[in-house]
């Protein structure tokens, strides 16, 4: 597909593209892989630091009634490498340009891990384009409590690392600790080149805009078995966002949104639909 697959760029398109389309559009000069699924209020999905859009496929069936918009970030998956490293604010503007490309002027925003930091940046620089915000397994970027060193080294290494068996569980915790084979189905492999690796790490620079400036209803979701971003970080984050709600998932790991979508997804969908929590998503089934 070409850029015309999703329509011309610009907000508030008068006609929506067909449902469930995957293809490429030109976003800020980069040939970008974008996928649109479902119908209903738009929901922009922002993945973790190495995640490709296919990672969302396990979660999307558990988000009925929403038009999900996902994409491979610059230099990730099937999206072109940018000519220069992009800071976090630059990536936030890129995400907003993806919304333009599919004809949406505003959307709910869901970000996981690195994508949660990016989602905060989007909500800070363009609050008028964000409805509700969901931040999963992420941090405020302030008063950060580091994860376990061995887990961080496994996640951030540009070289092939052992992501099987007990090593996978020690890195990601949660269900993967109990069933490491799940990891192979989550489309979360490291970048395919050293250049892509360094470009992606550049996005950890340039943070500006503080969480307390976010004025959108926000769900902060964390697991209590996350070796990469300990749950204390989400408690800090929720305390800084005025209109936030915190849920701690007992037994949930860093990738609980993907490895346990049937348990976690309905809480996300309910919050985005404006439902009041009727309990706590505090236990994942074994």
Give the DSSP H or E segment for 105. none
Name the 3-class secondary structure at 38. Answer: coil
Residues 15 and 56: their CA atoms lie apart, in Å, by 25
pTM of the full structure: 0.86
Structure tokens at 99: 């919304």
Name the 3-class secondary structure at 218. Answer: strand
Number of helices followed by number of strands (H, E) in the chain: 9, 8
Residues 281 and 278: their CA atoms lie apart, in Å, by 9
pLDDT for position 225 = 94
CATH of 3-147+194-272, one of 3.30.420.40, 3.40.50.1820, 2.60.40.1930, 3.30.390.50: 3.40.50.1820
pLDDT for position 18 = 42
Q: Where are the domains of the chain?
A: 3-147+194-272
Q: Determine phi and psi for 227, rounding to 5 degrees.
A: -70, -20
Q: Report whether 36 contacts 19 (CB < 8 A).
A: yes
Structure tokens at 162: 């052992």
Residues 218 and 227: their CA atoms lie apart, in Å, by 23
Residues 31 and 71: their CA atoms lie apart, in Å, by 11
pLDDT for position 131 = 96
Give strand pairing partners of 173: none
The residue to which tokens 């490309």 are assigned = 101
pLDDT for position 17 = 46
The residue to which tokens 């964000």 are assigned = 130
pLDDT for position 213 = 87
Q: Report whether 75 contacts 199 (CB < 8 A).
A: yes
Q: Determine phi and psi for 196, rounding to 5 degrees.
A: -60, -40
One pLDDT digit (tens) per residue for the chain, 286 residues: 434 455 433 444 444 444 468 899 999 999 999 999 999 999 999 998 878 899 999 999 999 999 999 999 998 889 999 998 899 899 999 999 999 999 999 999 999 999 999 999 999 999 999 999 999 999 887 666 666 656 656 666 554 555 556 777 888 888 998 888 888 888 777 666 777 777 777 777 666 657 888 999 999 999 999 998 999 999 999 999 999 999 999 999 999 999 999 999 999 999 999 854 333 444 454 3
- Chain-centre distance of CA 277, in angstroms? 22
If one counts every other C-beta atom within 10 angstroms of the C-beta of residue 84, the result is 9
Q: Are strands 218-223 and 244-249 parallel, antiparallel or unpaired?
A: parallel
Residues 141 and 211: their CA atoms lie apart, in Å, by 9
Q: Report whether 193 contacts 201 (CB < 8 A).
A: no
What is the spatial order of strands in the sheet that 107-112 belongs to? 21-27, 30-37, 67-71, 42-46, 107-112, 130-136, 218-223, 244-249
Sorted by sequence, the CB contacts under 8 Å of residue 181 that are 6+ apart come out as none
pLDDT for position 163 = 59
Residues 171 and 125: their CA atoms lie apart, in Å, by 32
Instruction: Tell me the catalytic residues.
Output: 113
pLDDT for position 19 = 46
Structure tokens at 36: 């649109």
């Amino acid at each position: 597909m070409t850029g015309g697959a999703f329509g011309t760029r610009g907000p508030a398109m008068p006609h929506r593209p067909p449902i469930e389309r995957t293809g490429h559009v030109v976003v800020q000069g980069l040939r970008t892989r974008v996928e649109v699924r479902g119908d209903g209020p738009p929901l922009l999905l922002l993945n973790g630091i190495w995640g490709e859009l296919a990672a969302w496929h396990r979660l999307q069936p558990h988000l009925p009634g929403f038009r999900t918009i996902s994409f491979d970030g610059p230099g990730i998956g099937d999206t072109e490498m940018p000519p220069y490293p992009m800071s976090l604010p630059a990536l936030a503007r890129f995400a907003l340009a993806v919304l333009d490309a599919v004809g949406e002027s505003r959307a709910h925003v869901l970000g996981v891990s690195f994508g949660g930091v990016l989602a905060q940046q989007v909500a800070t620089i363009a609050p008028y384009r964000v409805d509700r915000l969901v931040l999963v397994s992420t941090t405020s970027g302030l008063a950060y409590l580091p994860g376990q060193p061995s887990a961080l080294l496994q996640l951030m290494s540009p070289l092939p690392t052992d992501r099987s068996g007990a090593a996978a569980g020690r890195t990601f915790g949660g269900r993967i600790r109990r069933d490491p084979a799940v990891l192979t189905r989550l489309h979360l492999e490291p970048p395919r080149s050293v250049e892509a690796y360094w470009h992606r790490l550049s996005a950890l620079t340039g943070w500006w805009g503080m969480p307390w400036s976010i004025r959108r209803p926000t769900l902060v979701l964390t697991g209590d078995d996350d070796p990469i971003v300990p749950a204390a970080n989400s408690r800090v984050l929720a305390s800084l966002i005025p209109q936030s709600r915190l849920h701690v998932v007992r037994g949930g790991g860093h990738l609980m949104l993907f490895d346990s979508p049937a348990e976690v997804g309905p809480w996300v969908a309910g919050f985005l639909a404006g439902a009041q929590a009727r309990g706590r998503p505090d236990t994942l089934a074994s």
